[in-house]
Structures are given as C-alpha cells and as structure tokens.
Amino acid sequence: MRYQALIFDFDGTIADTLQAGISIYNNIAAENGFRQLAGDEINTIRNMDIRSALTRLNIPKLRVPLLLAKARRMLKSDITNIPLIDGITETLMELRSNVDRFGILTSNATENVEAFLELHGLRDLFTFISSTSSLSGKSKHLRSIARTFSMNPSRMLYVGDEIRDIHAAKKAGIDIVAVTWGFNSRDALAAEQPHYLVNTPAELLAVAGASASS
C-alpha cells in the first residue's frame, strides 16, 4: 500500500444518504422558509460548493450549525433505512486488510455512523470515527488525526464525495480521492482537480495500491 491511513467521509461515500438528506432538508426548509430542492434544482445544487449552495438556498451561514444538528437528529430516526453504497462493503474489506489506520471523518453525528456501521457489520473495520460540527472544519481534523497517530500527511488518503472534501484535504496536505456516486456531480468534482477521481468503489483499490491493477 502506498498509504498508511485511509480516511473516509460517511454521507454519500459509504452510506447512500442522498435521498434521505434531500427529504430531511426539504422538511427543514419548509419550517424555515428556505428554498426547497426538487427536479432541476437538485442538479443545480450538486454542481455548487457549499458556500454557493447556501447562498442560492437563502440559508444564513450563522444558522448552519443549528440546522446541521437538527438534520443529524432527524437522520438518526431513519438510519436503519439508509442503504450502503453498492459495492462499498467488499472494497472496504479489501482495503482494510492492507492498511495500518482506517477511519471516518464526517459532518454527521458519531452515534449515527456507529449505528449504521454496526447494522451492516462494518464497525470493526475502523480504527476511529471522528466528527466535526462545522461544514468547513475537516482540514483541522485531518491535521489532528495525523498528529494523533504520528503519521506523515503524505502517507494519508482521504475519500470523499464533495467539493469541500477536496478543499479540506488539500489544505491539510493530504491526498484526496473524489468519488462520483455521492453529493457533488462528477463535473463539479473534476473542476476542483482532486488527486484522484473514481466512478466505482472497486476503483479505490487501484488508487490505494491494494490491487495488482494499481
């Protein structure tokens, strides 16, 4: 393996939370007078970074932490209905057998991630699960993870599905592989020039150097 540590985002990367997330957002939007998501509006938002999306949806940045906390609580009640990304289980198992550290860094609640992984028999694969309450705080947490495990950032790889994941990893000096099956569109991700861009979970094996095809 060319990397000592693989760190994954959760929503949209491991768990297929897109539809549940849209439903939760629309419920919150209806209560607060924000712009709702449907049809072409969803595709438009998927091509935007988080700051642009908040502006378009008329969501004040100062309200984001409270709204995010509410969304986490709402997702908790639906966590047993969330599916895994198709093919991710086999890929995670193969990757885990070839790496020292295996973790999750997410904006979701740790208890939601724990419950989901336990439900699908995947919790024991992961060395750690870290959560940030800020939509833009992942770079700080990635650097903290490197210090905690005394790792060189150049030997770490972050896997995420959003533009903000790319920005966070680059800011922390960590390689990023952007996956196209999550929230942001392939074109939007490609425009941010991630170190790697993959279309299926199986492609992660070659990126991480865990298969003969790498």
Q: What is the distance, to the nearest Å, from the Cα of residue 45 to the centroid of all Cα atoms in its chain?
A: 16
Name the 3-class secondary structure at 175: strand
Specify whether the CB–CB gap between 117 and 123 falls below 8 A: yes
CA separation, residue 167 to residues 33, 106, 158 (Å): 30, 14, 11
Q: Which two tokens stand for residue 132?
A: 């940030």
**Residue 92: alpha-carbon gap to chain centroid:** 14
Q: Give catalytic residues, as residue numbers.
A: 9
Three-class SS of 82-141: CCECCCHHHHHHHHHCCCCEEEEEECCCHHHHHHHHHHCCCHHHCCEEEECCCCCCHHHH
Cα 115 from Cα 101, distance rounded (Å):
21
> Radius of gyration of the chain from Cα atoms?
17
**CA gap 207, 159 in Å, rounded:** 11
> Cα–Cα distance between 22 and 127 in angstroms, integer?
30
